[in-house]
Chains A and B, each alone.
Chain A
Amino acid sequence: MVVWPLLSTLIVLPLIGAAAIFVLHGEEAAVAKSARYAALWTTLITFAVSLLLWINFNPQNPGFQFVENHPWIGETNFTYHLGVDGISMLFVLLTTFLTPICILASWESIQSRVKEYMITFLVMESTMIGVFCSLDLLLFYLFFEAGLIPMFVIIGVWGGPRRIYATFKFFLYTLLGSVLMLLGILALYFATGTTDIAVLLHTHINPALQTWLWLAFFASFAVKVPMWPVHTWLPDAHVEAPTAGSVILAGILLKFGAYGFLRFSIPMFPNATATFTPLIFTLSVIAIIYTSLVALMQEDMKKLIAYSSVAHMGFITIGLFTLTLQGIDGGLLQMISHGIVSGALFLCVGVVYDRMHSREIARYGGLVHRMPKYAFVFMVFTFATIGLPATSGFVGEFLTLVGAFQVNTLVATLATTGIILGAAYSLWLYRRVIFGALTKADLMNILDLSPREVAIFAPLVVVTLWIGIDPQPFFNVFHASVMQLIHQHQLALASSPRSIMLAAK
């Protein structure tokens, strides 16, 4: 029986849309209009197809599903190998879910070179799906890096005043980390004779080599997460990127790093992971506290949310590296939640930016009087980012901290202060923008959410509350895979020479 290659379809669909837009020509306004609709339909169809993934996904199976494996580069064993397991499946969905929202969010704010914008966005979507589906390291690297090009263009062409500085910084920082990972991939290839991720997950690697490989992969993922102190590209990139670019950046690209840790570093290099966990905890705790304090002092809304992203990603890395069921479950859920919530917050900034062309917090105040719908939406996401119960942020953060308390109370305690700081900067932002007296003259006539904007936010609000109230469907998806990951990690540690020596003593 020939199984329909669902994952390849998901990767190729946006490219077909991009190609269709590429051949459009004629009068500029007409082309822009058809480009918008073509992009929207392409991404909606891609989303619909990706729902088939969830429907046909077997949550009892901890291994890879929807597998496609074809020879690619003959004699050197690199294959075109795709598949998803519980860990990656939801990220494919997150990607296909956020992209149509981004297209809608760019509907009116992007007026120049619409055709090119839609093409880059669709190419971007294809590479992002590819990253989460790849089961071959070289293929993964190809998608991982290829995504840099469209993002470089999105920030560089449609970004703010300092876009060139920001986009170069983004590109070069990420590239610097990634090329070291490439050498790691090569070293791994020569050590094991394969780049097949499904095989490597069950391959024992010499612990001395593990250390170096772990560091090589860390270089790439730490920049992508981003972890303190290599996070500085993020605020710049976020501030300058167009709204939809920020959404993709915060929603998906940052997840690459955490996903990489969970997919490669933890299962493939268990001994090195045990060695370096304190490093991850230290950097994450510093990130949580330091960037939260920095976020408190920001005057630019986007920059504030960007710093809060760094802090939230700190929770995620702590959760993943606790290697407890709660920690990893929480980290994964927090990744999904953060993808939606931080993306939504950037969209909230985009709404007022489109109207006033300013992101300065002091320019606003008292918006609740003119924009009640907006105030409501903003409130939901502010609560979600703080981690209020019944929102998606609560479940993830709570489980992460439960996991952390089992492993290291000091880390858990310090991380918890981050929640308090997070509440402080988020609520303060909300107060300054939404509440207070409506004194600024030009805010008197500001319009509330248009139907298009309501359509953008409605699905985000629904999902945020859904995860907050009933997270079980999500846990069901990744539970089996996470259990297997933890089990194998413990086995690997137990069988490593050092622990055998310790046991002998």
Chain B
Amino acid sequence: MIVPALGHLSAALPEIFLALSALVLLVLGAFLGDKATRPVATLSLIALVVAFVLVLLGPDSTTVGFSGLFITGRFAVFLNALILIGSAISLIIALDYFRLQGTERFEFPILVLLATTGMMMMVTANDLIALFISLELQSLALYVMAAFERDSIRATEAGLKYFVLGALASGLLLYGCSLIYGFSGTTNFGHLAAVVSGGPVSIGLLLGIVFLVAGLAFKISAVPFHMWAPDVYEGAPTPVTAFFSASPKIAAFALFIRVMMGPFGHVAIEWRQIIILISLASMFLGAFAAINQRNIKRMMAYSSIGHMGYALIGLAAGSVEGVRGVLIYLAIYLPMTLGAFTVILLMRRKTGPTENIDDLAGLSQQHPLVALVMAIFMFSLAGVPPLAGFFGKFYVFMAAIDAHLYTLAILGVLSSVVGAYYYLRIVKVMYFDAASEPLAGPITRKMAAVLLCTGVFTLFFFANPAPLLNSAHAAALALLH
């Protein structure tokens, strides 16, 4: 029968399309050389858009394909759409940045495509093997991207550090997978769920889960596996940092939710404490460590650690509301962080890009609109209503209260007050301090468009939050039932 075989393929159509486009563009780039840089970039962007359309047109119902290796459905559609939006926006701002820097290369968009393919596979993984392969496909592309500015010592160091620590995390994850396989006899999530719900869970399996959690916590840069984040964020070229802060985090989180709520959902009571602890540690470290940062990229690294902590609250709740909360959180976090990084990309002196927070001084007078948008992002990241970031926090705390995790919720909101301090500091520098030397970066049309879209989304989300809430709710239901 041809139809069922095609059925498998059609469910994976966006991934297959992206992978093929990446390969074709790679060949194109290899043959045409430097001439291909611009066309490859444009075609990559088009490929992402086409993949986005394919994702939206894909099957709504939950479909298992490739002998149970991959699973699609509303959950995957929601997250894949987010990942593609994140990758596309990152690519747009990255291309402009590299053009200004004069360091354009045709490999960059192809790496984005490959990483995105890996991420989409992570979201749809339904087997420990698929999980590992997709995670590695994504990670390898990211390692190269971190060291993309070959002539910069800092970038090379960041790439190496990321690679070594990432390999360690992959090792932990793989070790966890093998323990799980050894004690359950299966790698398939569906079968695992049956084994886990069948009776008391063996210590070996639990140990496997712990290792798995450690590996995944590394990928989302949750405390205590966060050490790489500030250094890699600071060292990598800024557009790469922007990319790191958005799509890969979402993909890793999707995988995290899928693994914990799917096969191990029945033993939530066993792993919930770990998630609560990781969540609390991330929120507090993110809040306190960011206070003293002078470098805005490092600050954003700690900020993202903190935000992952808030999103983990939803996972700790372990309910439909919790998963919905995480999905809403991620969907709102994406435009905020990409918008903020776009502003960071605009920070330039005559001598080149600058990353010092104090260099933002007086931005409100030189570029009032850019400063306004940045202030919106900062208040939103701090979670001040009525901006979008508030709703992200609101729904995870709602899930926490619903799950009776009162202590976690109280400590969480308290840490958000601490965190508000450093976001306000950016506003203070832009609005209250006098400028020393004006920033001289040109604002390209594309960057302005990105700022406009993300800014409008963040500012006016409150007016009509229903579409996002409803699709997140449907996605969460699809995962859990």
Q: Could you tell me which A residues sit within 8 Å of B by CB distance? A: 73-76, 116, 138, 141-142, 145-146, 148-149, 152-153, 156-157, 163-164, 168, 171-172, 175-176, 179-180, 182-183, 186-187, 189-190
Contact flag A142-B385 (CB < 8 Å), given A75-B473, A179-B417? yes
Chain A residues in 8 Å Cβ range of B52:
none
Contact flag A157-B432 (CB < 8 Å), given A75-B470, A141-B385, A145-B384? yes
The A-contacting residues of B in range 388-404, CB under 8 angstroms, are 390, 394, 397-398, 401-402
Q: Measured between alpha carbons, how far is A148 from B417 in the docked complex, in Å?
A: 13
Q: Measured between alpha carbons, how far is A179 from B424 in the docked complex, in Å?
A: 16
A179→B413 contact, CB < 8 A: yes
Residues 408-434 of B, flagged 1 when their CB comes within 8 A of A and 0 if not, give 011001101100110010011001100
**Interface flag for B465 (CB, 8 Å):** yes
**Interface flag for B2 (CB, 8 Å):** no
Contact of A149 among B384, B394, B406, B466 (CB under 8 A): B384
**Interface flag for B469 (CB, 8 Å):** yes
B384→A172 contact, CB < 8 A: no
B414→A179 contact, CB < 8 A: yes
Q: In the complex, which range does the number of interface residues on chain B fall in? A: 20 to 34
**Interface flag for B386 (CB, 8 Å):** yes
Contact of A157 among B379, B384, B431, B469 (CB under 8 A): B431
A164→B413 contact, CB < 8 A: no
Q: Measured between alpha carbons, how far is A75 from B476 in the docked complex, in Å?
A: 14
B384→A186 contact, CB < 8 A: no
Chain B residues in 8 Å Cβ range of A186:
394, 397-398, 401, 409
Main secondary structure of the interface of A (DSSP, over half): helix
The 9 closest A-B pairs by CB, nearest first: A179-B413, A186-B401, A74-B466, A142-B385, A145-B385, A176-B417, A142-B386, A156-B432, A146-B386
Chain A residues in 8 Å Cβ range of B228:
none
Q: Measured between alpha carbons, how far is A148 from B390 in the docked complex, in Å?
A: 14
Contact flag A153-B431 (CB < 8 Å), given A73-B465, A171-B420, A190-B401? yes
**Interface flag for B17 (CB, 8 Å):** no
A188 to chain B, nearest CB (A): 10
Q: Which residue of A lies closest to B365 (CB)?
A: A113
A119 to chain B, nearest CB (A): 10
Q: Measured between alpha carbons, how far is A152 from B427 in the docked complex, in Å?
A: 10
Chain A residues in 8 Å Cβ range of B271:
none
A182→B413 contact, CB < 8 A: yes
**Interface flag for B462 (CB, 8 Å):** yes
Q: Measured between alpha carbons, how far is A149 from B390 in the docked complex, in Å?
A: 13
Chain B residues in 8 Å Cβ range of A176:
414, 417
B176 to chain A, nearest CB (A): 34
Q: Measured between alpha carbons, how far is A283 from B208 in the docked complex, in Å?
A: 55
Contact of B397 among A75, A142, A183 (CB under 8 A): A183
Chain A residues in 8 Å Cβ range of B406:
183
B466 to chain A, nearest CB (A): 4
B445 to chain A, nearest CB (A): 20
Contact of A171 among B364, B398, B414, B424 (CB under 8 A): B424
Q: Measured between alpha carbons, how far is A141 from B420 in the docked complex, in Å?
A: 17
Contact of B413 among A75, A183, A190 (CB under 8 A): A183
B420→A156 contact, CB < 8 A: no
Q: Measured between alpha carbons, how far is A339 from B285 in the docked complex, in Å?
A: 42
Chain A residues in 8 Å Cβ range of B398:
186, 189
Q: Measured between alpha carbons, how far is A111 from B35 in the docked complex, in Å?
A: 55
A182→B394 contact, CB < 8 A: yes
B465→A146 contact, CB < 8 A: no
A-B contacts, 13 of them at CB < 8 A, read A74-B466, A75-B473, A142-B390, A142-B462, A146-B385, A152-B427, A156-B431, A157-B431, A164-B432, A172-B421, A175-B417, A182-B413, A189-B398
Most buried by A among B385, B394, B431, B469: B385
Chain A residues in 8 Å Cβ range of B432:
156-157, 163-164
Most buried by B among A152, A176, A180, A182: A182
